[in-house]
Structures are given as C-alpha cells and as structure tokens.
Amino acid sequence: MNKDTRLSDVLHVLLHMDRVDTPLTSEVLARSMGTNPAVFRRTMAGLREAGLVRSEKGHGGGWRLSRPLRTITLLTVYQALDCPNLFSIGNRSRHSDCLVEKNVNAVVEDTMAEATALFVRRFGEITLDQIAPSDQVPVQVHAKGRH
C-alpha cells in the first residue's frame, strides 16, 4: 500500500519556509517535496484557504507563511490537507447479518474511533514551533530534491 506523505511533506516545507526571509517559488518548494509545481500548488491550496500560507504572483513572488509557527498546530495542517486517511483498516462489509462479523466490525470501529480521537487530541497540542529545529541559523531550501 502506498503511504500518503502529504502531511510530512507539507510540514517539512512549512518549517523551511519559516527559516527564509524571501518568498519561495512553487518550483523550488516542489523540488523540496519531490513533486512537480502543479501538484505542489494543489497541495498548498487548502493551506492557503486555511490562512496558513499566502502566495504572491509575479517577479519576486512565491509562497510565504501567513502566521507564526507557534499559532499553527499539526491538527490545523492535517485539516487543511482535507484530513488524509489515517488508517487503511476497514470492515469486510458494513451491513452484515452475521453476528460474528457485526462484533468484529464494532470492535474495529470503536478502536479506530479511539485511535482517531487520540490522534486529533495530540495533534491539536503540538505547534510547529515545537518541532522546528532549535538552531537559529537560516537554512536554504534544497533546490535539488529531497534531502
């Protein structure tokens, strides 16, 4: 099964964006994520709508953070990405007449609900400044792909 890396990719980009003083182009940031600029812009659209980033067109334009890292939680980013699926575990069928399957479904659904609630609670407690590197030296966004 392919993993959805958008959350990890976007967090990586946001933390880099915070460490530079100039707007970063879609091309540069897309290379950092290992994707193309069109996919990058589609991925960032939800973050722009959520007010986490802004984009400026034209010469000298690009992407910038709209808010300080201390005001952005992991949950906010997750939600701005339209809540990617956390788990690939599911039930065989939703409407079974089999009592065994009904019990299995109930246990799986309850456990997934608990795990999701824990995820949401924990991600709501962590702000991006808490996961940013502690050194204060500005870094360059890697223009030649992932690092």
pLDDT digits (tens, 9 = 90+) for 60-80: 889 999 999 999 999 999 999
pLDDT at position 136 is 55
Q: Burial of 18 by CB count in 10 Å (0-12 exposed, 13-18 middle, 19+ buried)?
A: middle
12 SS3 class? helix
Beta strands in 57-110 (DSSP E): 62-65
Sorting pLDDT into bands at 50, 70 and 90, what band is 84? confident
pLDDT digits (tens, 9 = 90+) for 22-49: 999 999 999 988 899 999 999 999 999 9
Phi, psi (rounded to 5 degrees) for 53? -135, 165
For the segment 128-145, the average pLDDT, to the nearest whole number, is 67
What number of CA atoms fall less than 13 Å from residue 50's CA on the CB side?
Answer: 21
What number of CA atoms fall less than 13 Å from residue 48's CA on the CB side?
Answer: 12
Tell me what the pLDDT averaged over the chain comes to. Answer: 88
User: Cβ–Cβ contacts within 10 Å for residue 129, how many?
Assistant: 13
Phi, psi (rounded to 5 degrees) for 127? -100, 160
Q: Which fold has domain 6-131?
A: Arc Repressor Mutant, subunit A (1.10.10)
What distance in Å separates the CA atoms of residue 43 and residue 83, rounded to the nearest whole number?
A: 12
Sorting pLDDT into bands at 50, 70 and 90, what band is 143? very low
55 SS3 class? strand
pLDDT digits (tens, 9 = 90+) for 93-105: 877 889 999 999 9
Percentage of residues of the chain with pLDDT beyond 70: 91
- Domain ranges, ordered by start, for the chain: 6-131
